[in-house]
A and B are shown apart, each in its own frame.
Chain A
Amino acid sequence: MVGLAVADRPVYRKVAGTSHAGVGLLPAKQAVAAGFANALIAGCFTILPTNSTAQVMTIERAQPAARRTWSSIVDHRESRSDTWEAGYSCLPMGPVYAGYDPTLEAVKASVSGRSSSKRGQYAIMSDDTATDLSVMAAVHQRLLDLSRVLKEDGDQLSLNSGRELLHFLKVSGVTIRPSIVGMETGTVRALWKTGLKEQVAIHFFGDGRANYVFFRMDAGKMHREFGTASVEEIKAAISERDLWRMLIA
């Protein structure tokens, strides 16, 4: 029997059968419906492993509607355990491309399947974001790729860093895809550049702080600024310097 817990803070547990401390990813084919994916984009979920030895799944700061969706998926999982996979990845964000996946309808049918009212619920949730989902999908895919690469090199993607990046994109309404690289420490760095060699780079430490590097033209001169600050302070600095133009089309 799979339990469901809701926590105010992230809760991680080591679960048998996974190589990482308490994280798993729902397989895309299970896909979790658009609304659920959006909730994940918002960074409000931490999904714990779903294999047969996992006894607890934790949702972090889940919105009520998201909790209901999750509950329906858990219900579905319990009824379709033959198609559920575990230990798929170390990212907690889940598939974010369901909303744009041409197979969405099939996914919805697969996941919800039983009730049109549940499909309606997903649709409401999928409207719950102004963020360009195609950007989120691309970023998510990139994080998955980096996770694999880092793992092959003996490192591990920082879940908190990846989640901070996704949260930043979501709450800031970013519509321009950054390039993203993974440091040896597992943290991620996002970079937006213009043809004039201006840039906004943010290296998310995963603890609410980040390094920033701004290259910006002002009165025909390139200004280079860098430092370490909280993500909130960096957002304010981006606003003060009119740099959102590099992140939002």
Chain B
Amino acid sequence: MKGDPIPDSDHVLRYVRRSLIDEEGAPSGPAFLSRPRDDNSASYNWLEYYSGSDDERLAEIRKRRRLEYRPRDVLAKLNTHHVLSRLHEEFEDCGVAIVHDPLDPDETYELDDQSHALMLNIPAKGEALGEAMGDLIAECVIETFHALAPEEQA
């Protein structure tokens, strides 16, 4: 349900464009910040929203994406509880939360994006506090996946 917290045991994926991936392939802190126009919220996808294997879940998420993925872009996987607990430990009163934010089809997007989630109260890119928080989030990345499906990468 919209606005519900994502369960602690579950995972979210953050799309990371390649200019924000370092030379070793790791997403950098600013990749996890909001855009100034996004009102201090950053988009994620709730991995366990869909059933099946991780590959099947990823396929659903890729199919419903609303951003243009490019080669070398990645999806960074975070555990909800781990990242939130680290943020709250280090940045008291930051108010960061991860909530379900399903998106319905509209005139631009034919498909819904029911796994869409938001990290709330995350500062915008360019803010020093945000960059510090982003660096901490980057430390919590469990693994990354190619944003494009294997068949799209050719």
The total of Cβ contacts below 8 Å across the A-B interface reads 73
Report yes or no: A203 in contact with B23, Cβ–Cβ below 8 A: no
B125 at the binding interface (Cβ < 8 Å): yes
| Stretch from B14-22, B40-48, B98-106, B113-121 contacting the other chain | B14-22
Contact of B22 among A149, A180, A213 (CB under 8 A): A180
Nearest CB to that of A146 among chain B residues? Answer: B19
Report yes or no: A211 in contact with B19, Cβ–Cβ below 8 A: no
Report yes or no: A183 in contact with B20, Cβ–Cβ below 8 A: yes
A215 at the binding interface (Cβ < 8 Å): yes
| Stretch from A5-13, A111-119, A221-229 contacting the other chain | A221-229
Report how far A59 CA is from B136 CA in the complex, Å.
41
Given A149-B19, A211-B128, A211-B131, the answer on whether A181 and B139 have CB atoms closer than 8 Å is no
* 29 A/B residue pairs, CB under 8 Å, sorted by A: A149-B72, A152-B70, A153-B17, A153-B70, A179-B28, A181-B20, A181-B21, A181-B31, A182-B20, A183-B20, A183-B125, A184-B17, A184-B35, A185-B126, A189-B30, A197-B139, A199-B135, A201-B29, A201-B135, A203-B126, A203-B131, A211-B126, A211-B127, A211-B131, A213-B131, A213-B132, A224-B90, A226-B128, A226-B131
Interface residues on B, range: 20 to 34
Contact of B125 among A142, A155, A184, A212 (CB under 8 A): A184
Nearest CB to that of A197 among chain B residues? Answer: B139
Report yes or no: B19 in contact with A201, Cβ–Cβ below 8 A: no
Hey, which chain A residues are within 8 Å of B30, CB to CB?
Answer: 181, 183, 189, 203
Interface of A is mostly: strand
**Which 7 interchain pairs have the tightest Cβ spacing?**
A179-B22, A226-B132, A182-B19, A211-B128, A226-B128, A181-B28, A213-B132
Contact pattern, B 23-34, Cβ under 8 Å of A = 1, otherwise 0: 110101111000
Hey, which chain B residues are within 8 Å of A197, CB to CB?
Answer: 139
Residue among A185, A226, A227 having the largest count of chain B Cβ atoms under 10 Å? A226
Q: Which of B131-145 contact A (CB under 8 A)?
A: 131-132, 135-136, 139
Report yes or no: B28 in contact with A189, Cβ–Cβ below 8 A: yes
- How many Å from the CB of A140 to the closest CB on chain B? 13
Nearest CB to that of A188 among chain B residues? Answer: B19
A176 at the binding interface (Cβ < 8 Å): no
B94 at the binding interface (Cβ < 8 Å): no
B59 at the binding interface (Cβ < 8 Å): no
Report how far A181 CA is from B18 CA in the complex, Å.
9
Report how far A191 CA is from B128 CA in the complex, Å.
14
Report how far A211 CA is from B127 CA in the complex, Å.
8
Given A153-B70, A203-B131, A224-B132, the answer on whether A213 and B23 have CB atoms closer than 8 Å is no
A150 at the binding interface (Cβ < 8 Å): yes
- How many Å from the CB of A173 to the closest CB on chain B? 22
14 new A-B contacts, CB < 8 A, other than A191-B22, A197-B139, are A142-B23, A149-B19, A149-B72, A150-B19, A153-B17, A153-B19, A153-B70, A155-B19, A179-B24, A179-B26, A183-B19, A203-B126, A211-B128, A227-B128
